[in-house]
A and B are shown apart, each in its own frame.
Chain A
Amino acid sequence: GNSVTQMEGPVTLSEEAFLTINCTYTATGYPSLFWYVQYPGEGLQLLLKATKADDKGSNKGFEATYRKETTSFHLEKGSVQVSDSAVYFCALRRSDNAGNMLTFGGGTRLMVKP
């Protein structure tokens, strides 16, 4: 079946540090890949996405590249801010598409200290 594995948190960084959150997936074909962010008390917000191999999604300084050969979609940011503190979820949608059926990873909590 399909699955998404994320590095366990919490990840604690100082402001302006470099961020990497690892995400690997298991799926047949070429799924679409997503990163969602969840701030306290709020719903999930789409951060970025990639729909085919070698695509790079980017938004608000965050980037992730769809690596088919390593089945990975790692999230990176060059300089984190305190406001980036949240829970980050990696997710996939099957290539034969299941409409709005996303498979999520367990989430990684990021804490950024001033």
Chain B
Amino acid sequence: DAGVTQSPTHLIKTRGQQVTLRCSPKSGHDTVSWYQQALGQGPQFIFQYYEEEERQRGNFPDRFSGHQFPNYSSELNVNALLLGDSALYLCASSQFGGAFPSGANVLTFGAGSRLTVL
């Protein structure tokens, strides 16, 4: 049973560029969330997608955007990259458990995409 898969594993960009990260959720999951984990810190919530719509958003600027496709996979886009965007980007999937907001659904995390901005 495949878990959450993310691509690419590593990538290097320069300031001002744009990046797209991809995520395939665990089989049977329909909700995808993205987190940013800076080196030596805990993950920070970026946003969550369900039914192809952004449902919740953390404290991140509009340079961070996303998309969810009909097959539940998701993309994270970051525009106008800054040095401070260098981090591990984690995708987490879950099975929607009811009307928003809903209970303690278990998240399954991918191994992440490590972005370095030079």
Chain A contact residues, CB within 8 Å of chain B:
4, 32, 36, 41-46, 49, 51, 89, 91, 93, 96-107
A99-B90 CB under 8 A given contacts A43-B109, A43-B111: no
Interface string of B4-32 (1 = CB under 8 A from A): 10000000000000000000000000010
B74 contacts chain A at the CB level, 8 A cutoff: no
Which chain A positions have C-beta within 8 A of B40?
Answer: 106-107
A41→B111 CA distance, assembly (Å): 7
Which chain A positions have C-beta within 8 A of B44?
Answer: 104
Which chain B positions have C-beta within 8 A of A42?
Answer: 111
Cβ-neighbour of A106 out of B41, B101, B109, B112 (below 8 A): B41
* A100 and B41 within 8 A (CB): no
Which of the four size classes fits the interface of chain B? 20 to 34
Cβ-neighbour of B102 out of A91, A97, A106 (below 8 A): A97
CB proximity to A under 8 Å, residues B98-118: 100-112
Whole-angstrom distance between the Cβ of B86 and the nearest chain A Cβ: 17
A102 to B, closest residue via Cβ: B45
Which chain A positions have C-beta within 8 A of B45?
Answer: 100-103
A107-B42 CB under 8 A given contacts A41-B111, A44-B90, A100-B107: yes
A97-B101 CB under 8 A given contacts A43-B112, A44-B109, A46-B107: yes
Which chain A positions have C-beta within 8 A of B94?
Answer: 100
A97-B42 CB under 8 A given contacts A43-B90, A45-B109: no
A41→B107 CA distance, assembly (Å): 18
A104-B42 CB under 8 A given contacts A51-B104, A97-B101: yes
A100-B111 CB under 8 A given contacts A43-B4, A106-B41, A107-B41: no
